[in-house]
Amino acid sequence: MSLQACSKCGKRAFYYRSYSGEYLCEGCFITSIYENVKNTIRKYNMIAYGDRVVVGVSGGKDSLSLLYILGKFYSKTNEIIAVTLDEGIAGYREEGLEIARDLAQKLGLRHVVYTYKDLYGYPIDEIQGIRGKVSSCTICGVFRRRGLDVAARDLGANVVATAHNLDDVLQSYIITLINGDMERLLSYNPAVEESSAFGLRKVHPFLHIYEKELAMFAMLKGFRLQEAVCPYMNQGIRSEIRTYLNRLEERHPGIKHQLLNSFMKLSSERRAAGSGQFCERCGWPSRGRLCQVCSFIDYLSRQENKKA
C-alpha cells in the first residue's frame, strides 16, 4: 500500500479512487460518500422536507449503510422508518432481522417487520415444491417491491428508499436489454420511480456509488454484517454481468458512470408515469389486467392444487 497523501487533506491515504484520480484518507472517503448521497438526493428531488420515508433494510451492507446515512442526515427533518421484509426463509432471515433491528435502535429509528406469509400467504420456504420453473429470486423480488409499497401505505409514508447501487442498476439495465423488454428499458428511471398508486416515490440514493465503495464504507463504519447466505440464491446471468463490468471498470476507470449516463439518457426519452392501469384484483398499479404479485399468487395456488 502506498503512503500517498490524501488529495483533500494531506493525511495518509488508504484508497486510490481511480475514476476521479484522487487519493483519499478514511475520513475524506467517508465524507465523500455522504456528499455523494446528499447530492444525489438533492439532484433528483428524492426527499423533500417533511416527507415520511420508509427504508428497506435487509441487513446487508448496502441497506445498513443507507439506513445509517438517512438516519444521520435526514431524521431531523423527516421521519425515517426502517422496514425489513421477512421472506420466510428459516436459518437465513433471522440474522439480518436482528442486525437491522439493532442498527435502527442505535440510530433511534422505528423498525417494522412484514412477513411474506401475512402479505401473500406464501413464505419462500413453502414455495420450493410448487414454484416450477420460476426462480425463487424472481418471485421474491416481486414480493419484496410490493411489500415495501404496502409498508409505506400502512405507515403513511410517501417515499420508499432502497439501497440499489450503481452496479445493481447497470446490471438491471443490461438484463432488461438482453430480455428485449423495450417498454421497461425506455421507461425505467433508476433515480426515482413514481408509482401511480398512493403518490409513492421510490428512490435510490446510492445510484451513483460503486458497490465496492459501499463495502468499504460499511467496513469502515464497523457494521455487523450478515454471514448467512440465502439458500435459494440463484443470480444467474446477473453475477456474470457484474464480473464483466468490474473487469471493464478496472481497465477503463469511470466507464460505469459513463454507461449509467448513457442508459439514463435513453430512458429519459419516454418516461411514462406508469400505464395508469390498475390490477383488477388488488387495485395496485399494473401493466396488465392482473399485477405481477396477483399473477404469481395465482400461479402458486394452481401449482399447489395440482400437487394436492
| Strand residues in 136-212 grouped as ranges (E) | 159-161, 192-194, 201-203
Residues 98-137, mask of contacts with Zn ion (x by CB under 5 A): ----------------------------------------
User: What is each CA distance from 242 to 167, 168, 239, 263, in whole angstroms?
Assistant: 7, 8, 5, 16
Q: Does 6 bind Zn ion (CB under 5 A)?
A: yes
User: C-alpha grid cell for residue 256?
Assistant: 460505469
Cβ-proximal residues to 2 (8 Å cutoff; 6+ apart), any chain: 13, 16, 23
Q: Of the candidates 15, 23, 28, 74, which one interacts with Zn ion according to CB under 5 A?
A: 28
Rounded least distance, CB 179 to Zn ion, Å: 22
Rounded least distance, CB 143 to Zn ion, Å: 12
The answer to whether the beta carbons of residues 134 and 122 sit under 8 Å apart is no
Rounded least distance, CB 8 to Zn ion, Å: 4
Measured from the CB atom, the residue of 242 and 281 that comes closer to Zn ion is 281
| Strand residues in the chain grouped as ranges (E) | 15-17, 22-24, 52-56, 79-86, 110-115, 159-161, 192-194, 201-203
The stretch among 19-27, 39-47, 110-118, 214-222 that binds Zn ion (CB under 5 A) is: 19-27
Residue type, position 1, single letter: M
Measured from the CB atom, the residue of 241 and 297 that comes closer to Zn ion is 297
Rounded least distance, CB 9 to Zn ion, Å: 3
Q: Does 25 bind Zn ion (CB under 5 A)?
A: yes
The stretch among 28-36, 51-59, 165-173, 235-243 that binds Zn ion (CB under 5 A) is: 28-36
* Rg for the chain, CA atoms, rounded: 20
The DSSP code for 285 is B
Residues 274-303, mask of contacts with Zn ion (x by CB under 5 A): -----x-xx--------x--x---------
d(CA 164, CA 209): 9
The residue ranges that bind Zn ion (CB under 5 A) are 6, 8-9, 11, 25, 28, 279, 281-282, 291, 294
